[in-house]
Chain A
């Protein structure tokens, strides 16, 4: 089967400096790809160009073998859903209303959600554990709850591809794991293809099939977690000394940050 999403030699810039240079990437059906990299390395920008939110200057992006620039916004929304880093609602919407917004691109001229749409929203909310929040205002929620509501909304879009931009940044360890478990479950049961930007390298390594390490807008390394997450790669890109060993249970790479002060102490001792 052809990959769902293909990037060929993609270049993008906001102003004069290239933000992304020569990106080659393929997203296969049913795989979870983790994008990691330091702040400002272009992770969120990469996610946005994959969704067609930003126009690339050079190269080619194919969504189901058709250039993404030839899709209308509504069509992209039925193929790709995105969970943003954060979202500010200026006015108070109920959680159920926010989740139902995911049905936007599926509604026709009649602008109201039908029973089928409610079923789908209900299912997404039960998967993300947000059903008990349905009648609460989005403003009353904690950061973690809001994040799960946004994931529920993305699931309600019923897209083949889901892009997540640091979905676990506001979550406690239990909800971090649950988010990754959910994503994993969805790819297994519904064959979704997922790209997830994350700063939780070790956790992402446990769930991602492949990982992409981005450095200054260039792909530094792409491959299976064990190939990408090595002490050399991570130290070089993040410019921070790390130790990489294997998680004793999952046998996936595990990153330990070496504190600089301790280092210098050790040196002096």
Chain B
């Protein structure tokens, strides 16, 4: 006789296996990741060429200690805006990755897949070419480039009001190739110090962080991620195919339009401030999926926060590893990301694609 208790998916006190998502589980995970985020940010704040120990920061935070003017300047004018921007960009890239992977039903999809990166890069490089500033000029041009590209790709791929995922992917690839040629043209015809700026931008660079960028980006990113979270359970059904999602009650076309536009908007904003930072939107969602499963109600918040943690850590490495000089953060993410991703493909590749 089989034990009947074993044969039920209803809550069973002795069972701790993951079977479905509860609100409590989401809250716990988000809290845990937020605590990790704060810890990483504090550690990052204490690291850099100027020695300001974690202990100094802590004692100052709780009012037992004072810090001098220079230390204050370094912490709040240089390090903090950079950490906050790294967090915001990591959050956005990872959110974009998880959403695009679900919508395109492609485990290798990443936030730049619709040509956002190359469009933004063309804008930024034109900006740098004409000597515009890094606070407004370059970000504005790169954002316009990103938005233009996405609208172009979506315009080409839409038929009878519907977006076909495979056409969308292919169009993105082609547009990317075209814009890469444009970028190469500008790089080849530039030789002075602007070349250094261009290359840094192309590999992702957070050294130009300003609070004003945060205040522009934050509201958009909060609104879009809120909207995406409302739709989180819709993405679960999309993973099983658009038609069956439609059958089970998902307004698939509406979801695709809202998500592609919303995510492209905030990725465009993030990229315009940070340059192109690869692999964050690829690795973090997969890592979270391995740990927490594929339910997007948990996966979306966990991936976004995980992306913030990952990019703050990577950028801390980028600015300390060859101190006093620094690396573009994209170099670090690619160094860590590519081997990790190959490992994932080798060990779990079949699981993503098995039919």
A and B found bound together? yes
Identify the A interface with B (CB < 8 A): 48, 51, 53, 72-78, 80-82, 84, 86-94, 96-98, 100-102, 104-105, 107, 111-113, 118-119, 121-122, 125-126, 131-132, 134-135, 137, 139, 157
- Interface hit among B16-24, B36-44, B47-55, B137-145: B16-24
- Residues A100 and B20 in contact, CB atoms below 8 Å apart: yes
For the complex of A and B, list the 8 residue pairs with the smallest distance between their C-beta atoms, beginning with the closest: A77-B249, A105-B249, A74-B249, A91-B294, A134-B9, A90-B105, A96-B19, A111-B233
A135 to B295, CA, bound (A): 14
Instruction: Fill in one digit per residue for B1-39: 1 if any A CB lies within 8 Å of its CB, else 0.
Output: 000000111110000011111110000000000000000
Q: Which of B264-293 contact A (CB under 8 A)?
A: 289, 293
User: What would 14 more interface pairs be, CB under 8 Å, given A73-B246, A91-B101?
Assistant: A51-B247, A73-B251, A74-B249, A89-B240, A91-B289, A91-B294, A93-B239, A93-B240, A94-B18, A96-B9, A97-B293, A105-B248, A113-B20, A132-B7
Q: Are B249 and A76 in contact (CB under 8 A)?
A: yes
Docked-complex contact B247 and A77, CB < 8 angstroms: yes
Q: Tell yes or no: B241 within 8 A of A by CB.
A: yes
Which residue in A73, A75, A131, A132 is a CB contact (below 8 Å) of B250? A73
Decide yes or no: A90 and B107 within 8 Å by CB, A102-B248, A134-B9, A139-B351 being known contacts.
Answer: yes
The verdict on B335 contacting chain A, using a C-beta distance below 8 Å, is: no
| Residues on A with beta carbons closer than 8 Å to the beta carbon of B243 | 48, 53, 84
Q: Determine the chain B residues whose CB is within 8 A of the CB of A96 once the complex forms.
A: 9, 19-20
* Residues of chain B contacted by A111 (CB below 8 angstroms): 230, 232-233, 297
Interface range on chain B (Cβ under 8 Å from partner): 35 or more
Evaluate contact between A92 and B251: CB separation under 8 angstroms. no
A157 partner residues in chain B, CB cutoff 8 A: 248
B89 within 8 A of A: no
Assess whether B248 is in contact with A104, with CB atoms less than 8 Å apart: yes
B residues with a Cβ closer than 8 A to A are: 7-11, 17-23, 101-102, 105-107, 230, 232-234, 236-237, 239-241, 243-244, 246-251, 289, 293-295, 297, 351-355
**A residues near B23, Cβ cutoff 8 Å:** 112
Within the assembled complex, what's the spacing in Å between the Cα atoms of A80 and B247?
A: 8
B248-A90 in contact (CB<8A):
no
B7 touches A131 (CB 8 A): yes
17 pairs across A/B with beta carbons < 8 Å?
A: A75-B249, A77-B249, A78-B249, A86-B355, A90-B101, A90-B107, A91-B101, A91-B239, A91-B294, A93-B240, A98-B240, A100-B20, A104-B234, A113-B20, A118-B9, A131-B8, A134-B19
Contacts of A101 in B (CB 8 A): 236-237, 240, 248
Residues of A contacting B297 with CB < 8 Å?
111-112
Which residue of B is nearest A121, CB measured?
A: B9
Q: Which residues of B contact A89 (CB under 8 A)?
A: 239-240
Contact B237 A92 (CB under 8 A): no
Q: Are A104 and B19 in contact (CB under 8 A)?
A: no
B244 touches A84 (CB 8 A): yes
Is A97 in contact with B236, judged by CB distance below 8 angstroms? yes
Please report the C-alpha to C-alpha distance between residue A77 and residue B247 in the assembled complex, in whole angstroms.
Answer: 6
In the bound complex, CA of A38 to CA of B239 (Å): 31
- Please indicate the chain A residues that have their CB under 8 angstroms from the CB of B239 in the complex: 89-91, 93
A131 and B9 CA atoms in complex are apart in Å by 7
Instruction: Among B19, B106, B230, find the residue whose CB has the most chain A CB atoms closer than 10 A.
Output: B19
Given the interface pairs A77-B247, A87-B244, A118-B20, the reply to whether A97 lies near B355 with Cβ below 8 Å is: no
Residue among B18, B237, B295, B352 making CB contact with A104, cutoff 8 Å: B237
CA distance A78 to B230 in the complex (A): 21
Which of B9, B18, B241, B295 is within 8 Å of A87, CB to CB? B241
Question: Contact between B233 and A91 (Cβ–Cβ < 8 Å)?
Answer: no
Which chain A residue has the least Cβ–Cβ distance from B7?
A: A131
Q: Which residue of B lies closest to A135 (CB)?
A: B17
